[in-house]
Amino acid sequence: MMEETLRGIVPPMITPLKDNETLDVEGLERLVEHILAGHVHGLFLLGTTGEAPDLNYNLRHELVKRVCKQVDGRVPVLVGITDTVFSESLNLAQTSVEAGVSAVVAAPPYYFTPGQPELIDYYSHLANRLPLPLYLYNMPSHTKVMIDPETVQKLSENDNIAGVKDSSANIVYFNKLRHLLRDRPDFSVLIGPEEALGNVVLMGAHGGVAGGANLFPQLFVDVYDAAVAGDVAQVMKLQERVMSVSEALYGVGRHMSSFIKGVKCSLAQMGICSDVMAEPLNHFCDDERALIHGRLLELGVELSVSSRQSPVDRVQSTESSRQ
Amino acid sequence: MMEETLRGIVPPMITPLKDNETLDVEGLERLVEHILAGHVHGLFLLGTTGEAPDLNYNLRHELVKRVCKQVDGRVPVLVGITDTVFSESLNLAQTSVEAGVSAVVAAPPYYFTPGQPELIDYYSHLANRLPLPLYLYNMPSHTKVMIDPETVQKLSENDNIAGVKDSSANIVYFNKLRHLLRDRPDFSVLIGPEEALGNVVLMGAHGGVAGGANLFPQLFVDVYDAAVAGDVAQVMKLQERVMSVSEALYGVGRHMSSFIKGVKCSLAQMGICSDVMAEPLNHFCDDERALIHGRLLELGVELSVSSRQSPVDRVQSTESSRQ
Amino acid sequence: MMEETLRGIVPPMITPLKDNETLDVEGLERLVEHILAGHVHGLFLLGTTGEAPDLNYNLRHELVKRVCKQVDGRVPVLVGITDTVFSESLNLAQTSVEAGVSAVVAAPPYYFTPGQPELIDYYSHLANRLPLPLYLYNMPSHTKVMIDPETVQKLSENDNIAGVKDSSANIVYFNKLRHLLRDRPDFSVLIGPEEALGNVVLMGAHGGVAGGANLFPQLFVDVYDAAVAGDVAQVMKLQERVMSVSEALYGVGRHMSSFIKGVKCSLAQMGICSDVMAEPLNHFCDDERALIHGRLLELGVELSVSSRQSPVDRVQSTESSRQ
Amino acid sequence: MMEETLRGIVPPMITPLKDNETLDVEGLERLVEHILAGHVHGLFLLGTTGEAPDLNYNLRHELVKRVCKQVDGRVPVLVGITDTVFSESLNLAQTSVEAGVSAVVAAPPYYFTPGQPELIDYYSHLANRLPLPLYLYNMPSHTKVMIDPETVQKLSENDNIAGVKDSSANIVYFNKLRHLLRDRPDFSVLIGPEEALGNVVLMGAHGGVAGGANLFPQLFVDVYDAAVAGDVAQVMKLQERVMSVSEALYGVGRHMSSFIKGVKCSLAQMGICSDVMAEPLNHFCDDERALIHGRLLELGVELSVSSRQSPVDRVQSTESSRQ
């Protein structure tokens, strides 16, 4: 259970897969250690970046158990329980508490788009049934609804709701959230998009859920530390690096999943884990992989030769036959 | 298995619930007989109207088995397998084929909004793995993506894809679909919104998936029959009745689910089944129920006194304590 | 002034231009005669198809005067006065009444998107200041707001508001409009998209504002006549022709203006008028013109050789230097 | 003409009106002096906050001339020339250059939503015809199109395009803009929403176009100065004040124009100018005025008694009869 207010960098981990039904277990172990080695402050499983809505439930539960066992209390683990089926959210929360997870995270249900009163009902009802603190997850690009700042404020009065992660990229919204919660320094307000991390932590936000921390965890911890220290010049310098990574790796594909595909493809190139995507999404094909490869080299990322003969690559070969 | 082209009225059945985990079994039986008594041409389970995305998987599988057993071949049964988890779609299709279902129906995955090439990949891959014919389900209000007419045309070449249900309400889109498929009279093009049924069947569409047929199945069969017969005056007269029902019953609530709540509430008033909604949605409260009650009377619907003492009402009483 | 209820086909005329500041006067004269020769029931100037928002005010006023003089009472003329500047709407209405126009048409103001109460205020205030009957113009793709059916119903009580043109393509919306206005047969409900004309007139709508009637006016009059006569088979046959025209000519470009560019380009190929677009839009370039040329031939449209040496072509040559 | 890169606070001035056809000339004079007394770095006329699209052209031209004469070179004046009519943009630019304006500003045309290639054509063509430097104005909430960062980058190569104002509130977009233009420190990147001013200037942005500076110009200049000095604590303290103003005054109404109405109503209460809105918008009614009055008092704003007997109030009384 979360006893202190969550602060810092909490990477939303991608989910390494061998195929649609199977975790890439070795890749997963490497990835967790790779991320923790960057001194992050927590780990967030089964968010959007983790492709949670597309993973079958066995995989989701297995992932939670495996990662908690491996992390073994080194950092708090958070688990996304977003679902259209209410009881599946509760099931995953139960597995989570048994595995030693610190908190759960839920975006609004996403087929019947709820109104604000429905959101208040939903989150209140959910929080009251959960064995763990709940973080609200504002993700309008995927759920098609904003959790209004006033709705967050109202829900913050529920003792079992501990914070909010905002992935809207809307800075006015984010600042309104922070303003409305100014008397609640214990209620975490975390930003999603890594491209805005410096801007908001410098002004007092609690931290960020930076997807790029799958690749370069220390970079985002450095941004956070510099911002907390009020070292504007250093934040600006590191932010420039963050923007270069974003420009190089996240815009290769055309669709909503380009970010995840770019991160997974990069991790595969770095010899960490497979780039297999959960169906219905496909990983990048050869042209896009070559593009990512070149851009990683330009960014100065070391790509071990041995990785190209690793189990990861064998997975890729098998998978590519589907295409 | 579907051997002939699907034509006529295929009501998207609501799912009668006792609570979030339990079917209202007696209500379900009454509802199925009520609908079949209207001479409909098929029955569509687990669509949007059936609240499928919010139902747990046990309920979905149980519903399919129960209804198929009860229908016992009197009309073709179709089952919605829309899901963000690919394997759950396949699981439900497997249960469906074993239960004797005629075809399955899938809307696009709805968290990561796919592009058109991704839709073609997804549906091709899905259709090739299915033991039953597949109907495409265009539902942009909920999935946030249109299946382009050209995408439907391309997918119609797959032998295992048998038709399309369009719930966009966009008449230009619908007519483009019909034009592009003019040389494929065997490929069913069905309309979702019942308010447009007359307009399109008169001009040659195969039929409709009219949600209001949960309440008044014969009315929609009559619209269909008059339209197929080219009896314009009769279609206009019946359409007027359809519009009156729509105006009276579907706009009572404020949110996306108003239609389903209105239908379920009306069915409860008619003594057929419970009006419990799957979480996170709530059924109508007393004020809204009274409004629906009055409007049903205005529409001349018989509301049996005995129904107000039925098991249905006991369910309602229990449920209302949650609010 | 409009004395009778408007019914039938009222083509939204494109605006023939020599350049951004100058009407193609000869082309305009040919176009008006070409359209009237198709036995249409009215003529609508300065709608979306007429590129009204992009035309300077001198051009708008000149166009109204010229066309009224030429039409000389043969059919009612309607003029679009949609504007973000209230007084410019009034100015154009004043010119219109002096020129002998029958009614004016206004879409909602389109920079500050109004709410429904603001729409009621706006249209009431406008209608009360106008010297001519007003038609409401629902055009959500361009104005980003629907005029709710209930708003139209309320406004229909204003004696100076005579009807509504709906270009939403939403058939449920259109049927709701017609249902709410069922006791007002004198209040014209016209449909915008020509691809839906048959569907709605067959069921009693007053007519349509078909953009394709710039090219083939008689075709749409024939659809209308067949629909009014309840001749379903004939409507279906003609609708097939309408869809073929739509498929061939309106989807050549990529942007919102593809429809207008396609119509203007076709008219130029038919030797009727120039295809110059008002800035900031460009007419089609050579490749797209060749495509349209081929498709017109496939549709069996006669393209006079002489037209290729006409003033129209000289305008094109001059204009193409801008690109 | 602009000779140096624009930096600092450039308030988008509201337009004081007596009625739809008449400037509130005395109010305008007071307002300009009120704003300049706050040590702002420029003045932006006829933006969205200035209700430009709803003002008739005489008013727009008169406003430019009057304000330029009054400012008399004390700060650079910028003028919004956004229009759907190309020649009206040019006309206003001509008046602007004659009046001594420093630069013009244009949002995308807003009835036919352009694609990115059309935006490049439009802005290139416009810039090449203008006698003054042009600033791009990204305003997707009103124009329904984003000017892509890559489009801005491409247009920045045009010598006559001097900068961009971004009112999207999307912080990822804003940071992408700044990253792509990192080698062009002379190209101004200004932020629209005042609630984000501190966040971005601290990280190096050139300044902001803060609507609240109509009311409290010095506050925003103080935010800017503190941010440029890297004084994070001071920026945070002032930002808190900015958020309080925003919360108190900008959310009183329901529609898109609430911000402008709130600013105008506050200025009227402060005795500076009239709160009349250009049609079709109405100013706040008595209840809303009372609310704003109370909130200004809570914010500690001095409301002179004499103002309540000023010409401003007489204008209000006259106007209120319209409602």
For C65-78, what is the mean pLDDT?
A: 98
Matching residue, tokens 């595995």: A99
pLDDT band of residue C316 (cuts 50, 70, 90) is very low
What's the average model confidence in pLDDT over B15-30? 97
Pairwise CA distance, residues D235 & C194, whole Å: 57
Per-residue pLDDT at C3? 63
What percent of chain C is predicted at pLDDT more than 70?
Answer: 93
Query: What tens digit of pLDDT does each residue of D87-118 get?
Result: 999 999 999 999 999 999 999 999 999 999 99
Judged against a pLDDT cut of 70, whether residue A323 lies above it is answered with: no
D255 exposure class (CB count in 10 Å sphere: 0-12, 13-18, 19+): middle
- Dig out the tokens for C307 from the structure: 């037209």
Nearest-Cα residue of chain D relative to residue A247:
D176
Highest mean pLDDT among A256-265, C127-136, C298-307: C127-136
Determine which of A63-72, B225-234, B280-289 has the lowest per-residue pLDDT on average: B280-289
Interface check for B124 against chain A (CB to CB < 8 A): the answer is: no
**How does pLDDT run across C163-215, given as a tens digit for each residue?**
999 999 999 999 999 999 999 999 999 999 999 999 999 999 999 999 999 99
pLDDT at B209 over 60: yes
Put simply, whether C171 touches B (Cβ < 8 Å) is yes
Find residues 270-299 of chain D whose CB sits inside 8 Å of chain A. Answer: none
CB-based contact C46:C52 (threshold 8 Å): yes
- Which positions 22-81 of D are in contact with C (Cβ < 8 Å)? 48, 51, 53-57
Q: How does residue C311 score in pLDDT terms, banded at 50, 70 and 90?
A: very low
- Which pLDDT value is given to residue A317? 32
Asked if pLDDT for residue D313 goes beyond 60, the answer is no
Calpha distance B235→C251 (Å, rounded):
33
- Whether residue B82 contacts residue B53, with contact meaning beta carbons closer than 8 Å, is answered with yes
For residue C192, the model assigns a pLDDT of 97
Determine if the peptide bond prior to D280 is cis (ω within 30°): yes
Taking only residues 234 to 273 of chain C, the set having a beta carbon closer than 8 angstroms to any beta carbon of chain B reads: 235-236, 239-240, 243-244, 246-247
pLDDT 10s digits, A230-243: 999 999 999 999 99
Domains of chain C from N-terminus onward: 8-230 (3.20.20.70)
DSSP A84-142: SSHHHHHHHHHHHHHHT--EEEEPPPSSSPPPHHHHHHHHHHHHHH-SS-EEEEE-HHH
| Residue type, position B232, single letter | V
Q: Which of A160-169, A283-292, D56-65 has the lowest mean pLDDT?
A: A283-292
Q: Is the pLDDT of residue B302 over 90?
A: no
φ and ψ at residue B82, rounded to 5 degrees: -55, 130
| Cross-strand partners of A44 | A12, A78
Chain C residue numbers with beta carbons less than 8 Å from the beta carbon of D85 are 53-57
Q: Are the CB atoms for A200 and A174 separated by under 8 Å?
A: yes
Residue D308 has pLDDT above 60, yes or no: no
Average per-residue pLDDT in chain A? 92
The pTM (predicted TM-score) of the whole model is 0.93
Interchain CB contact of B128 with A (< 8 Å): no
Instruction: Give the separation between CA D67 and CA D43, rounded to whole angstroms.
Output: 9
Amino acid B85 reads V
Q: What is the pLDDT of residue D155?
A: 98
Q: What per-residue confidence (pLDDT) applies to C322?
A: 31
> What pLDDT sits at residue A307?
44
- Residues of C in Cβ contact (< 8 Å) with B246: 176
Residue C304 pLDDT grade (very low, low, confident, very high; cuts 50, 70, 90):
low
Buried b (16+ CB within 10 A) or exposed e, C51-87: bbbbbbbebbbbbbebbbeebeeebbbbbbbbbbbbb
- CA–CA gap between residue A159 and residue A169 (Å, rounded): 27
Instruction: Please state the rounded mean pLDDT for residues C69-88.
Output: 97
Q: What is the mean pLDDT of chain D?
A: 92
Q: What is the pLDDT of residue B3?
A: 63
Distance CA D160, CA D125 (A): 11
* Minimal C-alpha gap between C196 and chain B (Å): 6
Q: How far apart are CA B182 and CA B162, in angstroms?
A: 14
Over residues A103-150, the pLDDT tens digits come to 999 999 999 999 999 999 999 999 999 999 999 999 999 999 999 999
Is the sign of the CA dihedral D95, D98, D101, D107 positive or negative?
A: positive
pLDDT beyond 60 at B55: yes
Average pLDDT over residues D220-235: 98
Residues of chain A above pLDDT 90, percent: 86
Of A85, A144, A257, the CB nearest to B112: A257
Q: Which chain D residues are Cβ-neighbours of A203 within 8 angstroms?
A: 198-199, 202, 232, 235-236, 239
**Contact check, Cβ <8 Å, A53/B279:** no
Nearest to A256 among B113, B257, B282 (CB): B113
- What pLDDT does A280 receive? 78
> How far apart are the two ends of chain C, measured CA to CA in Å?
43
How far is Cα D60 from Cα C218, in angstroms, rounded to an integer?
45
- What percentage of chain A exceeds 70 in pLDDT? 93
Q: How far apart are CA C183 and CA C165, in angstroms?
A: 18
**C83-120 pLDDT per residue, tens:** 999 999 999 999 999 999 999 999 999 999 999 999 99
Place of tokens 């069922």: C182
Nearest to C232 among B171, B193, B232 (CB): B232
| Closest D-chain CA to C111 | D142
Residue of chain A with shortest Cα separation from B280: A122
Q: Phi then psi for D104, rounded to 5 degrees?
A: -120, 165
Query: What would the pLDDT profile of B191-206 be if each residue is shown by its tens digit?
Result: 999 999 999 999 999 9
Calculate the alpha carbon distances from D173 to A290, C316, D8, D191 in Å: 27, 39, 20, 11
Which range is least confidently modeled, A119-123, C250-254, C283-287?
Answer: C250-254
Confidence bin at D283 (pLDDT 50/70/90): confident
ipTM score above 0.95? no
Q: Where are the alpha helices (DSSP H) in B42-143?
A: 57-71, 86-99, 116-129, 140-143
Measured CA to CA, the distance from residue D108 to residue D115 in angstroms comes to: 10
Partner residue facing A56 (CB), from B87, B114, B115: B87
Mean pLDDT value across residues A53-75? 98
Shortest Cα–Cα distance, B295 to chain A (Å)? 25
More confident residue, B283 or D289: D289
> Cα–Cα distance between A105 and A77 in angstroms, integer?
11
Q: Residue D20: left (phi > 0), alpha (psi -120 to 50), or beta?
A: alpha
pLDDT of D306 strictly over 50: no
Task: Kindly report the nearest CA distance between residue A134 and chain B, in angstroms.
Answer: 16
Residue D238 makes CB contacts below 8 A (sequence gap 6+) with D198, D219, D222, D223, D226
Backbone angles phi, psi at D96, to 5 degrees: -65, -45
Mean residue pLDDT of chain C comes to: 92
Chains B+A touching (3+ CB pairs under 8 Å): yes
Which chain C residue's Cα is nearest to D85? C54
- Estimate the crossing angle of helix A25-36 against helix A311-320, to 10 degrees: 130
Closest C-alpha to B273, from B103, B73, B50, B115: B50
**Helix, strand, or coil (residue A42):** coil
pLDDT for D257 equals 85
DSSP code of residue A288: H
pLDDT tens-digit series, residues D144-158: 999 999 999 999 999
Q: Report the run of H or E that residue C17 belongs to, with start and end.
A: strand C17-19
Give the model confidence (pLDDT) of D34-49 as tens digits. Answer: 999 999 999 999 999 9
Q: Are D15 and D277 in contact (CB under 8 A)?
A: no
* Three-class SS state of B321: coil
pLDDT band at B283 (very low <50, low <70, confident <90, very high): confident
pLDDT (tens digit per residue) in B77-123: 999 999 999 999 999 999 999 999 999 999 999 999 999 999 999 99
Q: C211-228: string of b/e by CB count within 10 Å (b at 16+)?
A: bbbbbbbebbbbbbbbbb
Give the C-alpha separation, A14 to C149, whole Å.
Answer: 47
By Cβ distance, the residue of C169, C199, C232 closest to B200 is C199
Alpha helices in chain A (DSSP H): 25-36, 57-71, 86-99, 116-129, 140-143, 149-155, 171-180, 197-201, 217-228, 232-249, 258-269, 286-298, 311-320
Which residue, among D204, D322, D280, has the nearest Cα to D51 in the 3D structure? D280
pLDDT of residue D311: 38
Q: Tell me which DSSP letter residue B196 carries.
A: G
Nearest CA in chain C to D60: C85
Question: Regarding predicted confidence, which is higher, A46 or C253?
Answer: A46
pLDDT at residue C191, rounded to an integer: 98
Q: State yes or no: pLDDT of A260 exceeds 60.
A: yes
Q: How confident is the model at residue A298 (pLDDT cuts 50, 70, 90)?
A: very high
CA trace torsion B220, B223, B229, B234 (10° rounding): 150
Q: Which of B125, B278, B279 sits opposite A280 (nearest CB)?
A: B125
